[in-house]
Structure formats: structure tokens, C-alpha cells
């Protein structure tokens, strides 16, 4: 069962209720924004069939926007290193993403 309560009219300039709390967003500073270790590069246009990497973008969003503005494209590069797991009777080669911290 609900009950009704009378509310006094609000005068001009008064707050209508409790102030809303501002939501805080966390921004990462430095380092990568994803766990894949991916790096984003603009692709240089050239007459050959070879792909040349141009300027590196700090995030995928930045690469997308810059490529859109210039009418070009961008590439996503991941770097891997290999390790041999010799714990079993058969060796297994595993890959591990290389993560480099940004300056």
C-alpha cells in the first residue's frame, strides 16, 4: 500500500530536489587501453603493391578517425613471441603477446 505526501510548491530559484551525483568516468593514462597488445598504424599510399606503415595512432578510435579524415586506411599490428612448453612428453609451441608500454 502506498501513501501520498503533500509537497510544498517550489519557489523560483530553489532546488527541486536533491542534487544528482555526477558520475565519474575513469580514464587510463599511459599504457595500452586494450589487452590484445595491438598497435594501430595509418597506411601510407604508394604506387607499389607493398604496404607501408605510416604514423602510429595511440588508439583504434584515433586511427579510425584519422583514416576517415584522410580517406586512407589503417592497419592493426600485433607482435608475438614464442615459447616452447616442454613439460609433457611432446613439446608444444605457444605464442604470447608482446606488450610494450607507451611513452
Task: Output 19 or 70, whichever has higher pLDDT.
Answer: 70
Using an 8 Å Cβ cutoff, are 59 and 67 in contact? Answer: no
Considering just the CA atoms, what is the radius of gyration of the chain in Å?
27
Q: How many angstroms separate the CA atoms of 96 and 3, rounded? A: 62
What is residue 2's predicted lDDT score, i.e. its pLDDT? 57
Task: Report the pLDDT value the prediction gives residue 34, as an integer from 0 to 100.
Answer: 57
CA-based nearest residue to 99, from 84, 71, 77, 75: 77
Helical H runs in the chain? 60-70
Residue-wise pLDDT tens digits, 32-77: 445 668 999 999 987 778 889 999 999 999 999 999 999 999 999 9
Cα–Cα distance for residue pair 63/53, rounded to 1 Å: 12
CA distances 101 to 18, 32, 84, Å, are 44, 7, 25
Mean pLDDT confidence for 88-96? 90
pLDDT at 79 over 70: yes
Amino acid at each position: 500500500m502506498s501513501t501520498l505526501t503533500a509537497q510544498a510548491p517550489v519557489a523560483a530559484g530553489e532546488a527541486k530536489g536533491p542534487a544528482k551525483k555526477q558520475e565519474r568516468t575513469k580514464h587510463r593514462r599511459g599504457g595500452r587501453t586494450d589487452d590484445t597488445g595491438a598497435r594501430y598504424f595509418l597506411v601510407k599510399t604508394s604506387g607499389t603493391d607493398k604496404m607501408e606503415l605510416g604514423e602510429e595512432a595511440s588508439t583504434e578510435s584515433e586511427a579510425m578517425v584519422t583514416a576517415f579524415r584522410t580517406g586512407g586506411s589503417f592497419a592493426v599490428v600485433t607482435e608475438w613471441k614464442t615459447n616452447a612448453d616442454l613439460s609433457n612428453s611432446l613439446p608444444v609451441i605457444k605464442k604470447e603477446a608482446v606488450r610494450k608500454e607507451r611513452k
